């Protein structure tokens, strides 16, 4: 039985994708910019089967152990969620027919498959699980379709245009997933995402886990609702300005500017949620506690007595707070964060470079 096993990381946006101009194709109302993560990821296992293509609520076998203490989590998908996975698998299959011949790759016989997925973090919690899930499903399906997986991997690693073509296909499943194919810093404008070359130091992302239950409003609903807010007017222009500032700051490794702009952008996106036609919030009391505590570190002057560089603080569509700091200062941040918030679990991840092939199973499938 042929089997393919891959992983793809989530990513965390400093400038947010929020609002679509074309919901069918997931074309964004504005550009966005993110840092690709590493171990906060989705594993996907695709195994040939004699029956029909289906998604199974089972974890892939033998996953590499990371820095995460807990077991990986198999997402709880609704019927609609499972259908989305199957449709996306079919979308990628359609794309390989077009893209493989252009790059001299041959197709493996297309058979029904069983798809197993698992995340290293709680789904539905505002860590973009749709980004990592759809990136992993796109990459896994493409790799599984190759007659010679080694030849595929070589083209994937050497030809950015090839990888970016699949990022575009992935975008149609979940917009933010198109930023999980390269890294660490990725800019997504209109249809296409591309990595940026920067002198930024190695970064670490702390995620203060405040709530891990299902979100009150899905990101699909949020993309629609934000456009009903009176604050929506001028958003495209404001984001274009912020993107220019952030690109320049990344080019200079200027963390202080990144910190200020990401902070303003985070407040703006959540203000859109709070002021739309049917106002809602992702914030929990713990969210406010954490961001109020962080504010002095970001605002002019810094926190009293602190010699730490201002952190880059942001939140996705969820209650959890991401705190990005230079790896050189990560140990100090870990100590003060654990002391300030003993009641919350704090995940820690590093920057990453995008989707990866997983090591082969020690006991290949179909052997006993």
The footprint of ligand PMV (CB under 6 A) covers 13, 16-18, 32, 128, 130-131, 174-176, 219, 316-317
Task: Measure the CA–CA gap between 144 and 307, rounded to whole angstroms.
Answer: 50
Return the number of the residue (132 or 259) whose C-beta is nearest ligand PMV: 132
Return the number of the residue (259 or 320) whose C-beta is nearest ligand PMV: 320
User: What is the closest distance, in whole angstroms, from the C-beta atom of residue 20 to ligand PMV in the complex?
Assistant: 8
Return the number of the residue (37 or 357) whose C-beta is nearest ligand PMV: 37
- Could you give the angle at which helices 255-274 and 285-298 cross, rounded to 10 degrees? 150
Return the number of the residue (16 or 88) whose C-beta is nearest ligand PMV: 16
What distance, in Å, lies between the first and last C-alpha atoms of the chain?
Answer: 13
User: What is the closest distance, in whole angstroms, from the C-beta atom of residue 112 to ligand PMV in the complex?
Assistant: 28
Return the number of the residue (13 or 357) whose C-beta is nearest ligand PMV: 13
User: What is the closest distance, in whole angstroms, from the C-beta atom of residue 315 to ligand PMV in the complex?
Assistant: 8
Tokens matching residue 248 = 């320049």
49: preceding bond cis by omega (within 30 degrees): no
Task: Measure the CA–CA gap between 89 and 113, rounded to whole angstroms.
Answer: 10
Return the number of the residue (114 or 349) whose C-beta is nearest ligand PMV: 349
Are 171 and 80 spatial neighbours (Cβ–Cβ below 8 Å)? no
Task: Measure the CA–CA gap between 28 and 16, rounded to whole angstroms.
Answer: 10
User: What is the closest distance, in whole angstroms, from the C-beta atom of residue 175 to ligand PMV in the complex?
Assistant: 4
Question: Which of 276, 279, 283, 339 has the alpha carbon at shortest distance from 315?
Answer: 283
Report helix, strand or coil for 215. Answer: coil
User: What is the closest distance, in whole angstroms, from the C-beta atom of residue 67 to ligand PMV in the complex?
Assistant: 23
Q: How many CA atoms lie within 13 A of 319 on its CB side?
A: 23
Return the number of the residue (22 or 148) whose C-beta is nearest ligand PMV: 22
Return the number of the residue (18 or 312) whose C-beta is nearest ligand PMV: 18
User: What is the closest distance, in whole angstroms, from the C-beta atom of residue 201 to ligand PMV in the complex?
Assistant: 23
356-359, long-range: CB < 8 A, 24+ apart: 356/6, 356/7, 356/8, 357/5, 357/6, 357/143, 357/149, 357/153, 358/5, 358/6, 358/7, 358/43, 358/63, 358/64, 359/64
User: What is the closest distance, in whole angstroms, from the C-beta atom of residue 202 to ligand PMV in the complex?
Assistant: 22
Task: Measure the CA–CA gap between 170 and 163, rounded to whole angstroms.
Answer: 11
Return the number of the residue (213 or 359) whose C-beta is nearest ligand PMV: 213
Per DSSP bridges, beta strands 113-119 and 54-56 are parallel
User: What is the closest distance, in whole angstroms, from the C-beta atom of residue 84 to ligand PMV in the complex?
Assistant: 12
Return the number of the residue (30 or 165) whose C-beta is nearest ligand PMV: 30
Q: Could you tell me the sign of the dihedral formed by the alpha carbons of 161, 187, 255, 298, in that order?
A: negative
User: What is the closest distance, in whole angstroms, from the C-beta atom of residue 181 to ligand PMV in the complex?
Assistant: 14
E-strand spans in the chain? 3-15, 20-22, 27-28, 32-48, 54-56, 113-119, 185-189, 192-195, 203-209, 312-314, 321-326, 345-350, 356-357
User: What is the closest distance, in whole angstroms, from the C-beta atom of residue 365 to ligand PMV in the complex?
Assistant: 31
Task: Measure the CA–CA gap between 314 and 292, rounded to whole angstroms.
Answer: 13
């Amino acid at each position: 039985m042929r089997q393919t096993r891959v992983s793809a990381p989530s990513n965390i946006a400093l400038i947010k994708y929020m609002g679509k101009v074309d919901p069918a194709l997931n074309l964004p109302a504005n550009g966005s910019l993110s840092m690709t993560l590493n171990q906060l990821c989705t594993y996907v296992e695709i195994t040939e089967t004699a029956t029909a293509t289906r998604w199974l609520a089972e974890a892939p076998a033998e996953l590499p152990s990371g820095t995460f203490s807990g077991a990986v989590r198999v997402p709880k998908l609704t019927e609609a969620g499972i259908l989305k996975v199957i449709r996306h698998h079919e979308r990628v299959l359609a794309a390989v027919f077009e893209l493989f011949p252009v790059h001299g790759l041959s197709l493996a016989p297309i058979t029904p498959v069983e798809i197993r997925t698992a995340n290293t973090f709680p789904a539905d919690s505002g860590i973009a699980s749709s980004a990592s899930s759809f990136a992993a499903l796109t990459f896994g399906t493409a790799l599984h379709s190759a007659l010679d997986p080694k030849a595929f991997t070589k083209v994937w690693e050497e030809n950015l245009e090839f990888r970016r073509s699949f990022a575009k296909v992935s975008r149609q499943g979940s917009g933010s997933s198109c930023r999980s194919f390269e890294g660490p810093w990725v800019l997504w404008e209109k249809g296409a995402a591309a990595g940026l070359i920067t002198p930024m130091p190695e970064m670490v992302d702390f995620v203060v886990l405040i709530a891990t239950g299902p979100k009150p409003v899905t990101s699909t609903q949020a993309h629609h609702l934000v456009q009903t807010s009176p604050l929506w007017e001028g958003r495209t222009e404001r984001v274009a300005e912020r993107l220019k500032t952030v690109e320049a700051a990344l080019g200079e490794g200027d963390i202080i500017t990144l910190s200020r702009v990401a902070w303003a952008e985070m407040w703006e996106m959540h203000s859109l949620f709070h002021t739309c036609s049917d106002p809602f919030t992702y914030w929990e009391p713990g969210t406010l506690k954490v961001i109020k505590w962080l504010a002095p570190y970001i605002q002019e002057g810094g926190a009293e007595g602190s010699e730490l560089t201002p952190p880059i603080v942001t939140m996705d569509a969820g209650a959890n707070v991401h705190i990005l700091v230079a790896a050189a200062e990560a140990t100090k941040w870990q100590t003060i964060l654990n002391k300030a918030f003993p009641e919350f679990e704090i995940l820690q991840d590093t920057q990453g470079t995008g989707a990866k092939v997983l090591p082969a199973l020690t006991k290949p499938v179909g052997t006993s």
